[in-house]
């Protein structure tokens, strides 16, 4: 498993909200459910994404914007349009269904009665992201990430359209996996751009030596790694591996491993609430629970038990979402 793929294991769509809104100007949608990642695209028309405290971003046919939460944002026909709450009606999802309040179902591009000329059809996927593994990926992303367009809707989104329009067994699983596919492709396209600033672990994944070392560390995080054993497995000297790894990733191999182990441990502490600290320690390569606790506190600033107690405390309910048109 490479570092990018490993981080994406913690970013999985499960019961994520999909929907579309066919809108005729003037209109505005206000997204305030605080989703960590929201994918937005349009199949017809266009508009503006207005993140909180950031410049507006145009969104045209076939383009996709990924907005990193939890700050709210607007989708409007023109910059300056005000969002006013309106009655939702029968074709809306509710906050109890996952967050964003907008029309469910899909438009038919061949049906002139569905939206009409000049209408904008917005497609939205609110993406749940949980855990410290996921946070490492989110920290590498800008608030708004744009994926280019050739002027036509992405075929994957058209497949989403067909799937959402039918009520079939396993529909949510299919939608979740399609969103996973779209997210991975969008992130790869962004991180591979010459003008992007990807984290060291992403760029280093292409290096034949450091990439191999990263795959070993992510594939076997609990193994008793040393610089010597990593160098032997990657076919270079210890000094070569240490220098090349540090130059490309930004920290020495064993420092990277220690931070990755603590990231894994943080998620294990919250996901396996019945596991003891000693069991979590063994799962990430520590035979001594005391040594693990000391290392965890050094990296995270709190003991494993204190981290678990804080992370599993009841969360405050997210606010509702408003969708509307100016009054």
User: What is the predicted pLDDT for the residue at 118?
Assistant: 63
Please write down the HEC assignment for all residues of the chain: CCHHHHHHHCCCCCCCEEEEEEECCCCEEEECCCCCEEEEEEEECEEEEEECCCCCEEEEECCEEEEECCCCEEEECCCCCCCCCCCCCCCECCHHHCCCCCECCCCCCCCCCCCCCCCEEEEEEEECCCHHHHHHHHCCCCCEEEECCCCCCCHHHHHHHHHHCCCCCCHHHHHHHHHHHHHHHHHHHHHCCCCCCCCHHHHHCCCCCHHHHHHHHHHCCCCCCCHHHHHHHHCCCHHHHHHHHHHHHCCCHHHHHHHHHHHHHHHHHHHCCCCCHHHHHHHCCCCCHHHHHHHHHHHHCCCHHHHHHHHCCCCCCCCCCEEECCC
Domain ranges within the chain, ordered by starting residue: 3-197, 202-311
Identify the pLDDT of residue 228. Answer: 96
Q: Considering the entire predicted model, what is its pTM?
A: 0.73
pLDDT recorded at residue 203: 85
Per-residue pLDDT, 254: 95
Matching CATH number, 3-197, of 2.60.120.280, 2.60.40.10, 3.20.130.10, 3.40.50.800: 2.60.120.280
Sheet holding 17-23, edge to edge: 17-23, 120-127, 37-44, 64-68, 144-147
Instruction: Identify the pLDDT of residue 4.
Output: 73
pLDDT along the chain (327 residues), means of 10: 69 56 74 78 83 90 83 84 48 39 38 53 73 78 80 68 72 76 83 82 88 93 95 95 95 94 92 90 94 93 92 55 39
Please tell me the class of the 202-311 domain: mainly alpha
The pLDDT value given to residue 136: 78
């Amino acid at each position: 498993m490479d570092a990018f793929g490993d981080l994406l294991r913690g970013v999985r769509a499960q019961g994520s909200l999909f929907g579309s809104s066919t809108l005729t100007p003037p209109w505005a949608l206000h997204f305030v459910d605080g989703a960590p990642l929201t994918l937005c695209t349009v199949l017809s028309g266009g508009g503006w994404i207005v993140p909180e405290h950031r410049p507006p971003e145009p969104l045209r046919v076939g383009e996709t914007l990924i907005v990193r939460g939890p700050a709210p944002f607007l989708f409007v026909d023109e910059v300056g349009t005000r969002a006013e709450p309106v009655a939702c009606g029968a074709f809306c999802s509710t906050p109890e269904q996952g967050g964003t309040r907008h029309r469910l179902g899909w438009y038919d591009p061949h049906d002139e009665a569905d939206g009409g000329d000049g209408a904008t059809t917005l497609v939205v996927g609110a993406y749940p992201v949980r855990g410290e593994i996921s946070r490492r990926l989110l920290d590498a992303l800008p608030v708004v990430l744009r994926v280019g367009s050739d002027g036509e809707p992405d075929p994957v989104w058209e497949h989403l359209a067909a799937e959402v329009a039918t009520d079939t067994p396993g529909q949510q699983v299919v939608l979740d996996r399609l969103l996973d596919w779209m997210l991975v492709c969008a992130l790869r396209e962004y991180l591979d751009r010459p003008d992007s600033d990807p984290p060291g672990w992403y760029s280093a994944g292409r290096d034949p030596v450091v990439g191999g070392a990263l795959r070993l560390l992510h594939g076997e995080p609990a193994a008793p790694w040393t610089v010597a054993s990593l160098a032997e497995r990657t076919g270079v000297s210890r000094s070569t591996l240490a220098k090349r790894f540090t130059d490309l990733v930004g920290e020495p191999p064993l420092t990277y491993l220690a931070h990755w182990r603590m990231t894994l441990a943080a998620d294990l502490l919250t996901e396996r609430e019945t596991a003891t600290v000693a069991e979590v320690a063994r799962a990430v390569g520590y035979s001594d629970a005391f040594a693990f606790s000391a290392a965890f506190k050094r990296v995270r600033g709190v003991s494993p038990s204190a981290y678990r107690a804080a992370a599993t405390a009841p969360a405050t309910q997210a606010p509702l979402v408003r969708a509307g048109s100016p009054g």
